[in-house]
Amino acid sequence: MLIDVVFTTNPGIEDLASEEIEAKLEANIVEQRTGKGRVIASVPPRNLDLIETLRSIHRARILLYRGEICGSKECLNTLRDTIRKSQITRYVNPHLPFAIRAERVGSHDYSSLDIARVAGDAVIEAIRDLYGERPPVDLDYPSVIVVVDVIDNELYVSIELGGDLSWHRRGYRIYDHPAALKPTLAYALLRLSGAEDGDTILDPMCGGGTVAIEAAYLFESSNIICMDKNPRHIEGAKLNAKAALVYPRIKFLVGDATRLSRYVSRVDVIVSNPPYGIRMGSPWEVRKVYNKFLEEATTLVSKSITLITTEHVVVKESLRKNGWRIVEDRVVAHGNLHPHIIVGSR
């Protein structure tokens, strides 16, 4: 028997998450909500423990119910009945403290607090009906988290598999770069770059080292270089690499990305999250940096250049001007921004 699991990921990389889920969990993809950061898959129970090895997901939840719900307040009664009739008693009992985590997206006559209140009462009633006693509620340190999502007219009831912390918050983030890239996006950049084990992979504006660390997890035999012009960021990246237990796998350099030929003679792949104009204060300044960097990079890289940036027009123009072609251009969510992932190839 397969178990339906809802996976959340960074909006814009749902296809990459689906591929990883299929490959590592031997799962069947039921639905891929492109642009919504959600994938539903049927997973063999024996492989549920492998979920924590996935590099592309934020959360994973066992799906108990999925159906429609209306926006009027009376439909909270439907919510109560749905939860009571679900398989909630398989996961909650009188000896396990539980909590409700509710989220509402769209226009409804009720709030997330209303959903959480009604859902909590329904769980208590279901357990009391079966066992004759109520389960304890612990909002801070629950053993079981019941998630109730109302997204427009859809209702999802599920059991959180990873606790309250998202799996994208890797434990190695000791040094927190002010413009850090989500590790799930670093994974996506590396996959889209076409990098293979054994390639020399360079992040010339590596900040806290997220791309280099994720590359070290993905590729056993690659030569990985983490470079940044700011010595403080390089020291921070070293701390993160040590926490991730991959420090010996990475070469760290203090260097200027606009003068790449001073530091490296040849690399196979560049993967990077360069500064956005928003962060540097002047879009004109960042565009000059991009053009100088890409003029050098296109002469040194043998396979591909992959960047995530809001300055996608400049990147594409510069790559084409230097004789490269664009093989990938996709929009992703990164905080409150929607940068493009651009992949250029010879």
pTM of the predicted model, to two decimals? 0.91
Query: pLDDT over 70 for what percent of the chain?
Result: 97
Q: Are 283 and 277 in contact (CB under 8 A)?
A: yes
At 277 the pLDDT is: 60
Nearest to 83 by CA among 64, 97, 107, 70: 64
Task: State how far the Cα of 331 lies from the Cα of 10, in Å rounded to an integer.
Answer: 11
At 9 the pLDDT is: 96
Structural domains present in the chain? 3-160 (3.30.2130.30), 183-345 (3.40.50.150)
Nearest to 311 by CA among 269, 272, 259, 345: 272
**66 three-class SS:** strand
Task: State how far the Cα of 5 lies from the Cα of 39, in Å rounded to an integer.
Answer: 8
Residue 342 has phi, psi (to 5 degrees) of: -110, 130
Average pLDDT over residues 338-342: 96
The position carrying tokens 């909270």 is 76
Average pLDDT over residues 46-64: 95
Q: Are 14 and 186 in contact (CB under 8 A)?
A: no
With vertex at residue 43, the alpha carbon angle to CA 41 and CA 45, rounded to the nearest 5 degrees, is 155
In the structure encoding, which two tokens stand for residue 216, read together? 């070290």
pLDDT over 80 (residue 170): no
| 282-319 residue pLDDT tens | 677 788 889 999 999 999 999 999 999 999 999 999 99
Residue 165 pLDDT level (bands cut at 50, 70, 90): confident
Average pLDDT over residues 202-217: 97
Q: Please name every residue paired with 345 in a beta bridge, in sequence order, or none if there are none.
A: 304, 325
Average pLDDT over residues 329-345: 94
pLDDT over 70 (residue 87): yes
Task: State how far the Cα of 221 lies from the Cα of 92, in Å rounded to an integer.
Answer: 45
pLDDT over 80 (residue 159): yes
| 248-285 residue pLDDT tens | 999 999 999 999 999 999 999 999 999 876 555 567 77
Average pLDDT over residues 155-176: 84
Task: State how far the Cα of 272 lies from the Cα of 192, in Å rounded to an integer.
Answer: 12
With vertex at residue 93, the alpha carbon angle to CA 89 and CA 96, rounded to the nearest 5 degrees, is 135
Exposure string (b/e) for 246-280, b if CB count within 10 Å is 16 or more? bbebbebeebbbbebeebbeebbbbbbbbbbbeee
At 281 the pLDDT is: 57
**Helical H segments across the chain, by residue range:** 14-25, 76-85, 112-131, 183-193, 210-218, 231-243, 277-280, 283-300, 312-321
Q: What is the mean pLDDT of the chain?
A: 94
At 248 the pLDDT is: 97
